[in-house]
Structure 1
Amino acid sequence: MIFTAIREGRNLLPLIGAMLLAACTGAAQAASYTMYRDPQCGCCETWAEHVREGLSTEVAVQESADMAAVKDGHAVPDDLRSCHTMVVDGYVIEGHVPAADIARLLRERPDGVQGLAVAGMPLGSPGMEMNGQTQPYQVIAFGRAGRTVFSTYN
């Protein structure tokens, strides 16, 4: 296509612009968000809605009666586990991680990080809002590089 345009002496700018737009659109849509949840848990859907709104994306929901197997399969450390697990673009998101931290992870792609986790179900974290009550919590980055505090809240 490009060689034909060159041979015919056509302006390449519209063609290159269209190709760049297609490449950028494809890259933005490439990430798929899949959340695994126990069918008995109610806060997971609220958190998924937070992610949908915060990242302007779709979140597929997969129900699993054996969440321990899902977490084992994605190497989520036992002490960082929560009620739901999401997989996005090769990363594991465990628990009530704020959408802004997911966006930062996907933007920065730190070396040695496999995922982010908020252990337990702290009040005030996304999906765990309750009458303005909050508990301090941390978002932990984990992976072959070890663990680091990614963000701190409250």
Structure 2
Amino acid sequence: MSLHFLRQTTLAALLALPLAASAAQPVIEVYKTANCGCCKEWVKHLEANGFKVKANNVADPGDYRQKFGIPAEYGSCHTGRVGGYAIEGHVPAADIKRLLADKPKARGLAVPGMPMGSPGMEGGRKDAYDVLLVKDGGKSAVFQRYESTEGD
């Protein structure tokens, strides 16, 4: 083996490390109904942002929300599970990545309802909405705030 070959191989391996690290997101289990279009779009959003998704069509995603300790008041049309956290509703992938990196003591994240402009709910307008950090006991705090683009 030549020294030139070793240098090229080592350089190529080092350059590939950041790409491999950024692409290696954990699998998100998603529980959704078979016919919900916005759930399918949210799954596409997660995949486009480096997550592997295992989508499970279920009769009632709310059963999984309850099982994972997210109160009904924070409900949406689908529930996910990743890294021991529940992900309820149209939570942006960037917020899930931050949750997994920061590892706060919490049940998970929730975007209650189905706000227009959130991932999977893209359309003509973008409503303001909050991503909530849901803590034990059902209390929550704003994890990330998204502003409306109406009037822009």
**Residue 84 of structure 1 pairs with residue 84 of structure 2:** no
| Aligned twin of 1:41 | 36
1:32 counterpart = 2:27:
yes
What's 1:136 paired with?
128
Q: Partner of 1:60 in structure 2?
A: 54
Please report the TM-score for the alignment, with normalisation by the length of structure 1: 0.76
**Distance apart, 1:115 and its partner CA:** 0.3
Q: Amino acid of the residue matched to residue 46 of structure 2?
A: V
TM-score, normalised to structure 2, is: 0.77
- String of CA shifts for 1:70-114, please: whole Å, max 9, x gaps: 221112111100000010010000000000000000000012x11
- Supply the distance in 2 between the matched residues of 1:57 and 1:98 (Cα, whole angstroms): 12
Listed as ranges, the gaps of 5+ residues in structure 2 are 1-16, 148-152
Structure 2 CA distance, aligned partners of 1:152 and 1:139? 6
How far 1:51 moved relative to its partner?
0.9
Partner of 1:104: 98
Q: Residue 122 of structure 2: SS of its match in structure 1?
A: coil
Distance 2:144 2:60 in 1: 29
Q: Give the number of equivalent residue pairs.
A: 126
Identical amino acids, percent of aligned pairs: 42
Q: Gaps spanning 5+ residues in structure 1: where?
A: 1-20
77-86 or 142-151: which moved more?
Answer: 142-151
In 2, the alpha carbon distance for the partners of 1:85 and 1:63 equals 11
Distance between the aligned counterparts of 2:31 and 2:60, measured in 1? 10
Range 82-91 or range 72-81, more displaced: 72-81
State the secondary structure of the residue aligned to 1:76.
coil
Q: Is the 8 A contact 2:62 2:79 kept in 1?
A: no
- Structure with higher Rg: it is 1
Distance in 2 between the 1:47 and 1:125 partners?
9
Find the aligned partners of 1:100 and 1:40 in 2 and give their Cα distance.
Answer: 26
Give, in angstroms, the shift of residue 68 of structure 1. Answer: 2.3
Deviations 1:6-58 (A, max 9, x none): xxxxxxxxxxxxxxx9xx97xx56x321100011211001001111112x121
